[in-house]
Amino acid sequence: MAAPMSRFHLVLAALLLGGCASKAPAPAAPAPTPAPPPAVKTATVAAAAPKPATVWADRATFGASCKASLDRARTLRDNLKSAPPASEARLTRYNQLLSELDSTMNLAGLISNTHTDKAVREAAEACERDVRATFSEINLDRGLYEVMSGADTKALDADAKRFAFKVLREFKRAGVDKDEATREKLRKLDAEMVQTGQDFARNIRAGTATVAFDPAELEGMPADFLAAHKPNADGKIILSTDYPDYFPIQNYATQEATRKKLSVAFLNRGYPKNEPVLKKLLELRWEYAHLLGQPSWAEHMASDKMIGSAKAIENFIASINGFAKPRMTKELKELLARKKKDDPKAKAIEQWDRFYYVDRVRQEKYGFDAQIARPYFPYDQTLAGMFALYGELFGVEFRRVERPVWHPKVQAYEMLEKGVVIGRFYLDMHPRADKYNHAAMFPMVTGLSGGVLPEASLVCNFPEGAGLMEHSDVSTLFHEFGHLIHHLLARSSTWVNLSGINTEWDFVEAPSQLLEEWTWDAKVLGRFAMHNETHAAIPAELVQKLRTSAEFGKGTHVMRQVFYTSMSYYLHAKDPKGLNLDKATADIAKKYSPYPEVPGTHLWAGFGHIEGYSSMYYTYQWSLVLAKDIFTRFEKAGLLDPGAAADYREKILKQGGRKDAKLLMRDFLGRESTLEAYKRWLERN
């Protein structure tokens, strides 16, 4: 609603920016072959008649659907001003208005990022702009604010009071108290920010590059990777900057020139188109914040989050830097020493070395080889195993169904509890042209206790079918599905801004980061991680080596996250007039990044979080602090303990935004949250 995007349209991307694969020798003897992982229940619903046209069938249909929704919203808005004096009636009507715009905005965001037809994507982008404009008009409507601020909530329950508080806060954050001329400027700036943000994201989606390699340049690559990438008629192997190509090359390609060539292409996604676009976006945000009376965009965005202020973000960056930098320095010395064995003239660990040499040290120091782990994680098998695990933890089951989808490879599911459907979701999991090229959960419908079923989609870029995943891919899958579970379960309120993932933005990553912990447990992995040829369960010794080896590289990984956090923050903390993006990010990199900047590359141009999270990329480490603290209960009780899992579901996931996040933490932990678990994790060797 208030800038930069609707609270109902969080695109929760979890980039694999610091994930590291690892390696170890095969065990002397295979483990006994267990039964295969539980299959996902499938109920194919046969259509008795041809499917009706979906709203995403073509540009005209999508546009008409969006217009109809906006017409309904305007009617609700007009009726609000003549609502009965009863305060609850006003709140209920406003809730209906928000729910209408919520679903339309969410669907438009999903389709603009996934549809194969450019015309439909453009219609969805136009719809996003129209919905945002409507949100802006609503939040700048002084008459509507007076109606809503006149609601007496004293006799209402806690949820209704919290709903009203959040609604009035959004009015004020949007500038409803400013004079008419200022409100008009804010409205225009908001529309420009939406358009500019869409341009930035579109340039990244369209910026996937391909690079041609001779087969000899792919020395060291796994056999399954080479089998899936055959030479073309010219004898060249064409690889893209999409994740299923990029990360295996960075992990395994023996030749530095090969890793460098694809890395340089990856670091230039979105360039040069996004240079003027990002400058404009930063300038618009700066002007918008100043019109609201805020000293910076970073301050404006922090003011309604757990962290509270821009200064607190700076303090948090300094704290994590203090914890992690000494460990990073020590690791970089060890990595460089290892690189010098291959290249005695090497002077630094470069960005294209960051996965490869961490792998080499892990392999040689801890005896772990990631290529030996890969065969245990075929995509289909891993997905089924995750379904079975999450079903057990959260008391639900998942059923494949036949529903209209926006691409033939998208799969539709229902989530059931005791045989009753309580949510729907879609899996759009494999790369294709012009699709969102990271990993995210897209909310579609926010569920309400009054009977509105929640819906969401996962949009990822994993190998298909029996294609092998890295362990880091498995963690990402568990993470993103954690967002989806959170959204689907959080429907215990009738109020839309208290349901789904509408908690503080800097808490929203914590529940999903928590669920990554299950991918490091031998007992959990042994349930579904089975070798694609022998069908033997992953040996516990191999998982232990994975865990032990993963401790190395932690400092460099966290410091890389500190660099992204600092870039996200400092680009929004100062006046961007005359800003040189390359110089600014290079200066930040010198202070925080483990790796030198690469001449001729422009990482910021492809960093999608600048558009979505803006100044708040700190959220990932902030939420990790909270996730590590939440995990202390599972460490004590056991990862499969039904009591801890039930408490987590009831006291955190199902609550959505009904309480401040710090209270959710206290309810679950029985105490205030602290940094101690995070510090122990970071210091652990």
Is the pLDDT score of 24 beyond 50? no
* CA 449 to chain CA mean position, Å: 26
| Residue 116 shares a structural domain with residue 218 | no
| Assigned domain for 555 exists | no
Q: Could you tell me which of 136, 277, 200 has the C-alpha nearest to residue 576?
A: 277
Are the CB atoms for 277 and 200 separated by under 8 Å? yes
Q: Could you tell me which of 380, 428, 397 has the C-alpha nearest to residue 42?
A: 397
| Residue 431 shares a structural domain with residue 451 | yes
| Residue 198 shares a structural domain with residue 88 | yes
Structure confidence at residue 53 (pLDDT): 57
| Residue 235 shares a structural domain with residue 128 | no
Is the pLDDT score of 434 beyond 60? yes
| Residue 197 shares a structural domain with residue 240 | no
- Per-residue pLDDT band for 166 (boundaries 50, 70, 90) equals very high
| Residue 251 shares a structural domain with residue 120 | no
CA–CA gap between residue 96 and residue 79 (Å, rounded) = 11
Phi, psi of 237 (to 5 degrees): -105, 120
Structure confidence at residue 354 (pLDDT): 95
> Average pLDDT, stretch 561-581?
97
Structure confidence at residue 84 (pLDDT): 72
Is the pLDDT score of 11 beyond 70? no
pLDDT in tens, 44-69: 333 233 334 599 999 999 999 999 99
Q: What is the CATH number of the domain that holds 94?
A: 1.20.1050.40
CA–CA gap between residue 652 and residue 664 (Å, rounded) = 6
| Residue 94 shares a structural domain with residue 140 | yes
Is the pLDDT score of 665 beyond 50? yes
Ranges 86-90, 507-511, 591-595, 597-601: which has the least confidence:
86-90
| Assigned domain for 132 exists | yes
| Residue 233 shares a structural domain with residue 107 | no
Instruction: Look at residue 151 and give its three-state secondary structure.
Output: coil
Q: Could you tell me which of 270, 248, 593 has the C-alpha nearest to residue 437?
A: 270
* Side chain identity, residue 417: E
Structure confidence at residue 685 (pLDDT): 82
Q: Which of 158, 181, 204 is the last residue of a domain?
A: 204
Domain with 220 in it: 209-267
| Residue 403 shares a structural domain with residue 529 | yes
Instruction: Look at residue 423 and give its three-state secondary structure.
Output: strand
Strand order in the sheet with 440-445: 41-42, 397-401, 411-417, 420-428, 455-459, 440-445
CA–CA gap between residue 242 and residue 240 (Å, rounded) = 5
Domain count, the chain: 3
